[in-house]
Structure 1
Amino acid sequence: MPSFDEARLMVKIARLYYDQGLRQQEITERLGIHQSTISRLLKRARDTNVVRISIAPPTGVHADLEEAIEQKFGLQQAIIVDTPDDADADQIERELGTAAAFYLETTVRKDMVIGLSPWGQALITMVERMSPNQRGKGGTVVQILGGVGNVQSRQYDPHLIQQLSANIGATPVLLQVPAVVGSPEARRVLSSDPAVREAAAYFDRIDLAVVALGSLMSLRPVGPNVAATFSDEERAELSKLGAVGDVCLRFIDSEGKPIRSALINRVMGIDLPALRQVGRIVGIAGGVRKLPVVRASLKGKWIDVLITDQQTGEQLLADAPTPKKGRTRAKTPAAVG
C-alpha cells in the first residue's frame, strides 16, 4: 500500500491528468515533479483502482468483435461496420466504403506509395467520401489493377486514382489497360508498353494497398465485376479448380492458396508474390456472397486490415479455425500479369 503522502500525491496527479485534462509535461511544470514519477503514480493509480477506466462503446460499435477477429487471424486491425440485417449487397458495400474513407484519412502519411485496385462500389464510396487534405503530400497513388467492365464505364477510367490523389495531395500513376485482356500474347505486348512498365515499377514500393475482395460468381447480372471479364465457361473452370474468389483478380481457394490456371496469363495488374511485399494490405468485403473469399484471404494471410460488416465478422468467428500467425513475405520481383 502507498504511504499517506504518496497516496495524496497520486490522487492529486490523477485529478489533474484525468479530470482537468493536463498533459504529463504540464503537471511536471506545475508541481515541479519529474515526469517519470508522474507516469509511475498514474500507473499505480490504475493498478490500485484509485482510477478506474470504463469504456462504454456507443450503439453500433463492435470493439469486442473487432478484437476477437484480430486475435483469431493475427490481423493488425479489424474494422466492423454496423449494417442492418436486411441490408442488400450495395448498401453493405457503401457502408464499408464509408468506413474505409475514415480509415484512409487517419492512416495516410506524407510520401507514402498507395496502391489501389480502382473498381468496386466500396472503393468508389471510399474515394467519394474522403475529406480533401494534404496528408499524402509528396506521395503516389498507383493503380495496381487494370480497368474492369466496359471501356465507357466509370470504373474503367482513371477517375478513382485521380480523385484519391487529389484528395490527399499525391501524384497519380495510372495503369490504363484492361484488367483482363484477350490472350497471353496481348498481355505480353501491353506489359512492354512504357506507361505500363512505369506503373509496374511502383509495385514493389507500395506502403499501403487498398483492395476489394471479389467473389467468384457475381449475383448481379450487369456491372463492372468478375462476371464481365470472364466467360461462364471460364468461371466454371475456376470453380472446378476450387476457387472461391479473388484478390486483385488473382484467384484463391478456400485455404487462401493461389489457383493455378491459364487465366492468370490474361490479367493485367499486380500479382500475388508482389502483393506479399506490400507493407500493409487493406481488404474490403462483406455480405453473404463475399464470406468465402473473406475467410480464404484471412487463412492465406493476404490482408493485414479487414473492413467488413458485423454479420460477416460473427460468421468468421463461428466457423473458422485459427490460422498460423504472421504474413509470409515473398521476395519475388513485382510484375504486371
Structure 2
Amino acid sequence: MQIPQPPLAVAAGNPDDQLNIRIAWYYYVTHMTQQQIADHFGITRVRVNKALATCRETGLVQFRINSPLASCVALEHALQARFGLQRATVVPSPEDPAQIFRVLGVGVAPTVEAQLRDGCTVAVGWGRTLRQAVRELEARSLPRLTVLSLLGGLHYGSANNTVEIASSLAGLFGGAYYYLAAPVFAPSETYRDMILAEQSVRAVLGQAREADLALLTVGDLTERSLMLELGLVDPASAQSLRDAGAVGDLLGRWLDRDGREVDHPFNRRAVGLSLEDLAHIKKVVLVSGGPYKADIIRAVLGRGLVHELVIDEAAALRLAEG
C-alpha cells in the first residue's frame, strides 16, 4: 500500500482534500481505527469511511501486491510467445465489470513508472483505462518530462479527454504537456487535411513520432464503447463500421480482425498520429481488457505495433484460445 505525494494542486487544495489525506494517513500508516480517527477529528465514522473510499478511488491511496498468480504468469508467457511481445502483464479480472479500469490501472502503473525518467517524452491516447492508470502512478519530480497527446479530443472538459489525461500525467511529475487543438474526427477529409497541415499540430505529432514511450488503450464497438457513450460515434455509424468489418479502434483508426484499417469515412477523418508513425516510437505499451475487447486487442497485437501489454485474465484467455 502506498500513499503517494499528491500533485501540487491537491496538496494545496480545499479543506476536504486535506482532511481525506490526513484520514488516510492515520488509518493506513499509524493504524488508527476508524472510530479513533472519527473521535480525533470530531466527525462521524461514516465520514471517515467515505474519505477512505474517496482516497482509493482517486488514486491518493494505492495498493501493490508483489506476488504473481501462477495462472496469470502462464498466460503472460503464452502471450509473449504468440505475439512477439517484450513483456506481458496479466492481472486477475474483477468480479464487477465496472472495476476493470481500476484493475488495469493498478496493473500498468509499475510498467509506466519503470519507464519514466527526467527528460523523456511520453505520448498518450485517451479513455477510462488511461485515466485510471494515471491515478495509480506515484508522483515524483521529473521537471523535464514532456507529455504529448496522440489524437484530437473533445470540445468540452472530461476526465477521459486527451487534454485532461496529458495534463494530469504531466502534473504528477511537474512536466510539460502538449495536445492537439482539434477534434478526434474532423467534419470532412478536407478539414482533416487542413488540421494536420497546421503548424502546432505538425509540431506535436512530430515530437510524438520520436517519443520514448507511448501509453495506449483500444476501443470496442459494443454498447460499452466510450466513443458511443460520448456521442463521437452514433448508433447508425457504429453499425456501418461493423458492416465494414471493424471490431474496434486504436487512436481513432478502426480496424478489422486482421488489424487492417477498414474502408470507412471515419478513418479518413481521424485526427492523430497514424499507425504507421506509431511504429517508430521506442516503446509502445498497450493497456486494455475485458473479454469484449479481445478482438480489437488481438487485431492490434497482430500488427506488431506493441512492445508491452497489460491485460486482464479473462481477455488474456480469449487471446490465448483464439
| TM superposition score normalised by structure 1 | 0.70
Gaps of 5+ in 2: 1-65
Gaps of 5+ in 1: 1-55, 320-337
Task: Verify the 8 A CA contact 2:261 2:267 in the aligned structure 1.
Answer: no
Task: Verify the 8 A CA contact 1:97 1:121 in the aligned structure 2.
Answer: no
CA 1:226–1:201 in structure 2 vs 1: closer, same or farther (change >3 Å)?
A: farther
Task: Verify the 8 A CA contact 1:256 1:301 in the aligned structure 2.
Answer: no
Task: Verify the 8 A CA contact 1:217 1:226 in the aligned structure 2.
Answer: no
- Aligned equivalents of 2:107, 2:174: Cα separation in 1: 21
Residue 296 (structure 1) aligned with residue 302 (structure 2): no
Match of 2:209 in 1: 204
Task: Verify the 8 A CA contact 1:115 1:206 in the aligned structure 2.
Answer: yes
- Aligned equivalents of 2:147, 2:272: Cα separation in 1: 14
The answer to which structure has the higher helix fraction is 2
Match of 1:76 in 2: 86
Match of 2:77 in 1: 67
Amino acid corresponding to residue 266 of structure 1 in structure 2: R
Residue 314 (structure 1) aligned with residue 321 (structure 2): no
Partner SS for 1:283: strand
Amino acid corresponding to residue 204 of structure 1 in structure 2: R
Match of 1:168 in 2: 173
Match of 2:99 in 1: 91
| TM superposition score normalised by structure 2 | 0.73
Higher gyration radius (CA): 1
Task: Verify the 8 A CA contact 1:216 1:226 in the aligned structure 2.
Answer: no
Total equivalences in the alignment: 257
Of 123, 127, 130 in structure 2, the residue corresponding to residue 115 of structure 1 is 123
Match of 1:189 in 2: 194
Q: What aligned pairs does 1:151-162 form with structure 2 within 5 A after superposition?
A: 151-156=156-161, 158-162=163-167
> Root-mean-square deviation (CA), in Å?
2.3
Between the aligned residues of both structures, percent identity stands at 25
Residue 145 (structure 1) aligned with residue 155 (structure 2): no
Task: Verify the 8 A CA contact 1:157 1:176 in the aligned structure 2.
Answer: no
- Structure 1 window deviating more from structure 2 (120-129 vs 254-263): it is 254-263
Task: Verify the 8 A CA contact 1:248 1:269 in the aligned structure 2.
Answer: yes
Shift of 1:57: 4.8
Task: Verify the 8 A CA contact 1:95 1:122 in the aligned structure 2.
Answer: no
Shift of 1:157: 6.4
- Aligned equivalents of 1:217, 1:206: Cα separation in 2: 31
